[in-house]
Structure 1
Amino acid sequence: MELLLWLWSQLRSCGNNLPALGIALTVFALLFDFLKRRKSWSRYPPGPTSLPFIGTMLQIDFHNPHLSFTQLSKKYGNVFSLQNCWSNLIVVNGFKAVKEALVQKSEDFADRPYFSIYEHLGYGENAEVARYGQAWKEQRRFALSTLRNFGMGKRSLEQRVTEEAGFLCSAICSEKGRPFDPHFLINNAVSNVICSLVYGERFDYDNKKFQRLLHLVEQAFNEEAGFLPQLLVVVPWLLLIPGVPQRVFRSQKEVLDFTDELVKEHRTTWNPTEKRDFTDAFLQEIEKVGGEQQV
């Protein structure tokens, strides 16, 4: 601390000398970064050397992080630490280590960090990205009981899957033996089973609006990869730049807008005495607890 105070006094004394001021500011920033990182070194597992300000971000391929983690585990073991800027991360590899963390000590590892990017995108406080706590437990309990009522784990859901499998087979047969990529057809089928539970309807495979949604969902997952999205997560003040969250995470915002449209359609035809699907049940729960902020 005394060293930092001395550096600050030197900065004030060389205010009229720009080159000296630049050097002093650089030294001050590097020293501050070093002291900030040193506090956590002894409490974390071993890991690659951190660079000033950006940490270990350059050592990770964010488009294929699993490959980077596999390579790093060969050098540092199945449990090692990383630093994205000033955020400390622990990477767990291997069956035994993962089982210990997620099964044997599940309560200790159940929480998730808060990322302000979700607030900028429009996710609610108690949405699926909510932190582990009483609100999350209540939502999980409600979701499981409601899904069971609509057939999860029962033969009624099996019938929906079988019915959708028939539509999928018909779509494949329509290709008449020509080579084609089944990727989106299979996505259509799986998504339709989910939509039948959540929204009470399925979408035809040639429905342009639904095709657009599937492409957006795939793009939304890809958006979280890459250096810039990860930088926004660990340096949240960059989100204050107007338009940055919406531009970098454009597909995620469009998925949310699409979902909002479906929910609004449900509200206009909603009958509190009749539960057509999961969305109806959720709207009823909102009314029951007294507002969306409570759900």
Structure 2
Amino acid sequence: MAGLRWPDAQELLVLLLGLLLVCYLIRARMSNKLPPGPSAWWQLVNIFSSDRKPPHIQLEQYRKRYGDVTTLYILWMPIILLSGFQTIQEALIQYSREFAGRPRTRINDLLTKCQGIIYAPYGRSWKQQRRFTLTILRNFGLGTITFEEKILEEAKYLIDTLKAPLEGQAADPRPVITSAVSNVMCMIIFGRRFHYEDKTFKHLVGLYDQMLRIHSGFWMRICAVFPIILYLPGPQQRIFENQAAILAILQGFIEQHRETLSGETIRDFIDAYLLEMEKERDGSPDSMLTEGNLLHDIHDLFLGGTETTSTTLYWGLLYMMAYPDVQVKCQKEIDEVIGRSRRPSMEDSSDMPYVSAVIHEVQRYANIFPVSVVRAMTQDTAFMGHQIKKDTLVLINLYSALTDEGQWKHPHQFNPENFLNDSGEFFKPDAFIPFSMGVRACLGERLAKMELFLFFTSLLQHLEFHWPDATTSPNLEGQYKIVVEPQPYEMLVRRRETLGDL
């Protein structure tokens, strides 16, 4: 062992140049019908870059140079980037199934075993998980008054938490916002809400936050390109340690439900899944309702149902402080339509065009998912004059649709007029696609819309939000953590005058 040594800088440079040569030779043998794009240096630079800026900034530069259909490379592996609303719409609607796959990478296989909803490949298992999940959500009253009441009850806890200890002193609202939104998912999945200081609850929420940071970090990028590193000791093993900790907690909830399961009362998602799994075990031996899929479905629901909505609300409060005139106009409309004593209802949204426009503008301008979860082609496809082979990776540049200059009045400004017509009525442009489109559009879109309207309206009905330092302005530049979230901030919370009972 004494004779072993690390290669010096010159030897590493030779190895790197050799690797690049191999990449270019492989690329030269590929079809010349792929769209144009930058060189393979792009990924080599970005893999080893410590820059945490959102990826859409660089992708938009490529779009301007190469067009709405661009080829990027991870070494010799091509990735097709789709930009612009018309291009995205054609791909995800007219070629919906062809663009509906997920890449079979080694790291995804190890983390999910192709189970669940978010990262599962397009096929029978994914279709059954999605269909069954939507059925359960409908059965539990999604879109009904009963479901609204659950969200409004959580909004009450959130408001009480914000106005009691935080009034008069600046504090970061992110933890309590995340806890409130997480509790809505807990009621759906586990059949109960948790106190914000519950140890298990805080630990689970913290693990998900840690997971997002790990998955957007340096080692995740390295392991995606060089899978062999997954089998070596080192800091990259935190990816699996974090996943194991999350799944262990979720498995514990499943076992608790199994011990108290009763066919007479279906308490939540886990109950419904376990009962249906038992039913199909005898009648449908090839059913894809399995223990593994249940575990990963819960994982995906908690992740997707918490992070997107809580981050959007976090942005929303920041924008209300950055644009206090918008906050005042929202509160004026809330007072006129709802008042101070009655709880909001989804039925109110049709009578509140300005508040609806503001909520949608927060989603558009915050742009928390500038690039959708990576897809893969399910078959060889001729698309817009290019031949794209099966299993080719595809990125959907949602940011380009949400800022498309041909679709929006003020594409690069925060302005609720993007969702108001000349008569002041709410309207939604076709290019508003923060939940993506087609067969793999976000299945939690309806739930997210309910939560955003009810939480946002309840908060502004009873509280005012102020930037604590009059000498500075809010920082509206985001940071990338799978989703784009605000830089951590503190705010002042004040009760609105003459509050009614919540």
Q: Is the shorter-chain TM-score for this pair beyond 0.5, marking a shared fold? A: yes
Moved more, 74-83 or 273-282: 74-83
Matched with 1:133 is 123
Going from structure 1 to structure 2, the CA distance change for 1:178 and 1:31 (only over 3 Å counts) comes to closer
Distance 2:230 2:194 in 1: 36
CA contact (8 A) 1:195 1:201 kept: yes
Matched with 1:73 is 63
CA contact (8 A) 1:80 1:91 kept: yes
CA contact (8 A) 1:101 1:109 kept: yes
Pair 1:110 & 2:109 matched = no
- For 2:60, the aligned partner's letter is T
Matched with 2:267 is 276
Q: Secondary structure at the match of 1:83?
A: strand
CA distances 1:194-245 after superposition (whole Å, capped 9, x unpaired): 1101100101112232222222212212222233212212332322325765
Q: Secondary structure at the match of 1:88?
A: strand
Pair 1:119 & 2:109 matched = yes
Identity across matched positions, percent = 36
Distance 2:194 2:42 in 1: 51
Distance 2:126 2:176 in 1: 33
CA distances 1:130-179 after superposition (whole Å, capped 9, x unpaired): 10111111111111111110111222111101111111111011123321
Going from structure 1 to structure 2, the CA distance change for 1:245 and 1:253 (only over 3 Å counts) comes to farther
Pair 1:292 & 2:299 matched = no
Distance 2:75 2:33 in 1: 17
CA contact (8 A) 1:57 1:83 kept: no
Aligned with 2:180 (options 180, 186, 189): 189
Shift of 1:103: 2.6
Aligned with 1:148 (options 135, 138, 148): 138
- Please show how residues 238-257 of structure 1 align to structure 2 within 5 Å: 238-242=229-233, 246-257=237-248
Matched with 1:50 is 40
**Structure 1 segments (4+ residues) deviating >6 Å:** 24-28
Q: Secondary structure at the match of 2:80?
A: strand
Q: Secondary structure at the match of 1:275?
A: coil
Going from structure 1 to structure 2, the CA distance change for 1:168 and 1:59 (only over 3 Å counts) comes to closer
CA contact (8 A) 2:71 2:80 kept: yes
Pair 1:173 & 2:173 matched = no
Pair 1:64 & 2:54 matched = yes
Larger radius of gyration between Structure 1 and Structure 2:
1
CA contact (8 A) 1:60 1:68 kept: no
Structure 1 stretches of 5 or more lacking a match?
1-21
Distance 1:188 1:27 in 2: 49
Distance 1:234 1:43 in 2: 24
Distance 1:272 1:160 in 2: 23
More helix by share: 1
CA contact (8 A) 2:136 2:272 kept: yes
Q: How many residues align?
A: 273
Matched with 2:258 is 267
- Indicate the structure whose relative CO is greater, using CA pairs within 8 Å and at least 6 residues apart: 2
Structure 2 stretches of 5 or more lacking a match?
1-11, 282-289, 295-502
- For 2:260, the aligned partner's letter is T
Going from structure 1 to structure 2, the CA distance change for 1:28 and 1:84 (only over 3 Å counts) comes to closer
- For 1:107, the aligned partner's letter is R
Shift of 1:268: 2.0
CA-based RMSD: 3.0
